[in-house]
Amino acid sequence: MLSTLTFFISESFISLRRNGLMTMVAVGTITVSLCIFGFFLLSIINMSNIVSNLGTKVDLVAYASQPLTDTEAENVRLQISRIDGVKEAKWISKDKAWKDFKEEFSDRLKLEEIVDSNPLPDTFFVKMLNPELSAKVSKEIARISLIEEVGFNPNLVDKIETLVEAFRIGGLMLVFLLSLATLLIVVNTIRLTVLARETEIVIMRLVGATRSFIRWPFIIEGIILGMLGSGISIVIIKFTYEAIIVRLQNALPFVTLFTNHFWIGCVYFLVAIVGVLLGMLGGYISVNKQLKEEN
Amino acid sequence: MIQLIGVTKTYPNGVGALYDINLHVGKEEFMFIVGPSGAGKTTLLRMLYKEESPTMGEVIVDRVKVNNLTAEQVPYLRRNIGVVFQDYKLLPKRTVYENVAFALQVTGTPHFQVRRRVMQALELVALLRKANSFPDELSGGEKQRTCIARAIVNNPPILLADEPTGSLDPTTSWDIIQLLDKINKRNTTVLVATHNKSIVDGMKKRVVALEGGRMIRDQQLGAYSGERLSNA
Ligand SMILES: Nc1ncnc2c1ncn2[C@@H]1O[C@H](COP(=O)(O)OP(=O)(O)O)[C@@H](O)[C@H]1O
Ligand SMILES: [Mg+2]
């Protein structure tokens, strides 16, 4: 058993070396495809992450139509917080809003010179449980009496989500096409070995080697190609991603990029699995063609 | 050991290669299949190890109905049948030893048995001293001995030889046939397809003659052509 395995593996390495150039082309193609696949997965993870963060940060802001007493304000706040999809609602009295506003902009504007009375209404900040419901919730808040208007662009999150969805679908198509192209190249590479070893296959069949025995060296050859390709691409993805994260985090500090090691580890794992599977499948297909032609 | 019952073979392109062949070969036999080129000798041999299947009729090898074997079972049939060719089919980048060992390695023979069995086979074909030579360093006769060693290295009960002397000079041809005879005496059924007249006449073995896919003669202690026997 062990001697058989050693036989297979040494045979595979011999033929990979014999087809040096084609082996490099195949490993290169697998690497490129897997890098694109890996970055696609990382982008998806990051976008989902950003969108869900967006959801907790994008608040609805509701403005009262007239100055409110404390009881009226508490009443409105309760009505808002009872709406489905609302996490919490917070009341900022018009006085506090005016004070905050003045504090924030005091160094840039001399507001008192322009407006001497407080122009701001009582304000409710609304935190959402689920950003997808924003549009619906904002309509319901607008229906509450004493609420004048709800400030928030209800389409923004929708638009981002549509964008992410389009990216996801487009990316999946790209990944699929790339896998197909990679598979073809792997099949062709191993096909060269199959052809170079045609006499050997004929003799193996003649002396009674089983079909699976004949297949294994080629499948192992595919696995080796896949492992080389995915190893290289994981290294590339790791270093590039880390470099990108550092730069992006500096340039866009308000966007939280994904650094959770578990999920990033999952991406690497997936890249490795896909690489090895592509190689295996390629090996299987190329030798099976030969076995079908006879018999 | 080998039995053909009403075997007819028509190739997919419509060429008829064999018609209603009935044949029985016993365990200890050495048999020649003779006939002009295109008579169907190769086709007959190929059906025994299921490289081709009959269009009609039954092929039985070692009590096994070859027709019914699945693709997964065919390899095990072939481990019981050694095959030798006119063009040797040796692997050029492997030594004599490696060519013979290959047959054992690819059929899952335990590592520790390979060396002993290859050496035995090489000794039988008198090629031990060439064990480390590559095929293109060998004479035609030596190549054929290598091919024979590979065919018998796992001791199959049946040995088929398709024009084994087709590319050899008369003396070497005679040596090769003597070797096949020696193998037959070690309890192996041997079938030799040939159109080498002097060899067939010299051996005085059973002769089955084919012509245009039909069996026209089956003689014990036969000769290449029927006339000579009628003269005797
Ligand atoms: N693979 C094949 N496909 C179609 N026809 C074949 C094939 N092999 C042999 N034949 C035909 O079958 C006949 C018998 O061929 P073969 O068995 O090779 O004869 P022999 O070995 O006696 O010379 C010939 O007419 C030959 O052309
Ligand atoms: Mg022939």
Question: Mean pLDDT across the stretch A173-197?
Answer: 81
Residue type, B164: P
Q: Which residues of A touch B78 (CB under 8 A)?
A: 205-208
Question: Mean pLDDT across the stretch A225-238?
Answer: 93
Residue type, A111: L
Report which protein residue has its CA nearest ligand 1's atom 7: B11
Q: Which residues of B touch A295 (CB under 8 A)?
A: 71, 74
Looking at the CA of residue B15, tell me the nearest atom of ligand 1. Answer: 5
Measure Cα distances from A32 to A29, A232, B114 in Å: 5, 9, 44
What is the b/e burial string over A213-245, where b = at least 16 CB atoms within 10 angstroms of the residue's CB? bbbbbbbbbbbbbbbbbbbbbbebbeeebeeee
Residue A170: the pLDDT is 83
Name residues 116-155 of chain B within 8 A of A (Cβ).
Answer: 150-151, 154
Å from CA of B21 to ligand 2 middle? 17
Q: How many other CB atoms are there within 10 angstroms of residue B75's CB atom?
A: 23
Question: Mean pLDDT across the stretch B43-67?
Answer: 94
- pLDDT tier, B146 (very low <50, low <70, confident <90, very high otherwise): very high
Domain boundaries, chain A: 2-54+159-294, 59-152
Q: How many other CB atoms are there within 10 angstroms of residue B197's CB atom?
A: 13
Q: Nearest residue on chain A to B70, judged by CA atoms? A: A295
For A59-152, CATH gives: 3.30.70.3040
Please provide the distance, in angstroms rounded to a whole number, between the alpha carbons at the two ends of chain A.
Answer: 27
Q: Which residues of B touch A14 (CB under 8 A)?
A: none
pLDDT in tens, B126-145: 999 999 999 999 999 999 99
Percent of chain A with pLDDT over 90: 12
Which of B210, B109, B48 minimizes the C-alpha distance to A206? B48
Q: Nearest residue on chain B to A293, judged by CA atoms? A: B51
Residue A65: the pLDDT is 85
Compute the C-alpha angle B40/B42/B46, nearest 5°: 115
Q: What is the ipTM of this complex?
A: 0.89
Residue B232: the pLDDT is 40
Considering every ligand atom shown, identify the ligand nearest to the alpha carbon of residue B40 and give its number: 1
Report which protein residue has its CA nearest ligand 1's atom 13: B17
Instruction: Give just the sign of the alpha carbon dihedral A40, A43, A45, A48.
Output: negative
The Cα B83–Cα A152 span in angstroms is 85
Looking at the CA of residue B18, tell me the nearest atom of ligand 1. Answer: 14
Which of A70, A59, A197, A201 minimizes the C-alpha distance to A128? A59
Please provide the distance, in angstroms rounded to a whole number, between the alpha carbons at the two ends of chain B.
Answer: 31
pLDDT in tens, A51-103: 766 655 556 788 888 888 888 888 888 888 888 888 888 888 888 878 877 77
Q: How far is A174 from chain B (nearest CA, A)?
A: 39
Q: What is the DSSP string of chain B?
A: -EEEEEEEEE-TTS-EEEEEEEEEE-TT-EEEEE-STTSSHHHHHHHHTTSS--SEEEEEETTEEGGG--TTTHHHHHTTEEEEETT----TTS-HHHHHHHHHHTTT--HHHHHHHHHHHHHHTT-GGGTT--GGGS-HHHHHHHHHHHHHTT--SEEEEESTTTTS-HHHHHHHHHHHHHHHHTT-EEEEEE--HHHHHHH--EEEEEETTEEEEEETT--SSHHHHHH-
pLDDT at A290 over 80: no
What's the per-residue H, E or C state across chain A? CHHHHHHHHHHHHHHHHHCHHHHHHHHHHHHHHHHHHHHHHHHHHHHHHHHHHHHHHCCEEEEECCCCCHHHHHHHHHHHHCCCCEEEEEEECHHHHHHHHHHHHCCCCCHHHHCCCCCCCCEEEEEECCHHHHHHHHHHHHHCCCEEEEECCCHHHHHHHHHHHHHHHHHHHHHHHHHHHHHHHHHHHHHHHHHHCHHHHHHHHHHCCCHHHHHHHHHHHHHHHHHHHHHHHHHHHHHHHHHHHHHHHHHCCCCCCCCCHHHHHHHHHHHHHHHHHHHHHHHHHHHHHHHHHCC
Instruction: Give just the sign of the alpha carbon dihedral A214, A218, A221, A227.
Output: negative
The Cα B94–Cα B199 span in angstroms is 31
Compute the C-alpha angle A106/A54/A146, nearest 5°: 65
The pTM is what? Answer: 0.71
Residue B137: the pLDDT is 97
B9 lines ligand 1 (CB under 6 A): no
**pLDDT mean across residues, chain A:** 81
* Inter-chain touch B89–A203, beta carbons under 8 Å: yes
pLDDT in tens, B11-46: 999 999 999 999 999 998 999 999 999 999 999 999
Out of A38-52, A54-68, A214-228, pick the least confident: A54-68
Burial tier of A159 (Cβ tally within 10 Å: 0-12, 13-18, 19+)? exposed
Measure Cα distances from A225 to A173, A228, A229 in Å: 24, 5, 6
The more confident residue out of A194 and B121 is B121
Residue B230: the pLDDT is 45
B12 lines ligand 1 (CB under 6 A): no
Which of A143, A148, A158 minimizes the C-alpha distance to A123? A148
* Inter-chain touch B107–A203, beta carbons under 8 Å: no
* Inter-chain touch A208–B107, beta carbons under 8 Å: yes
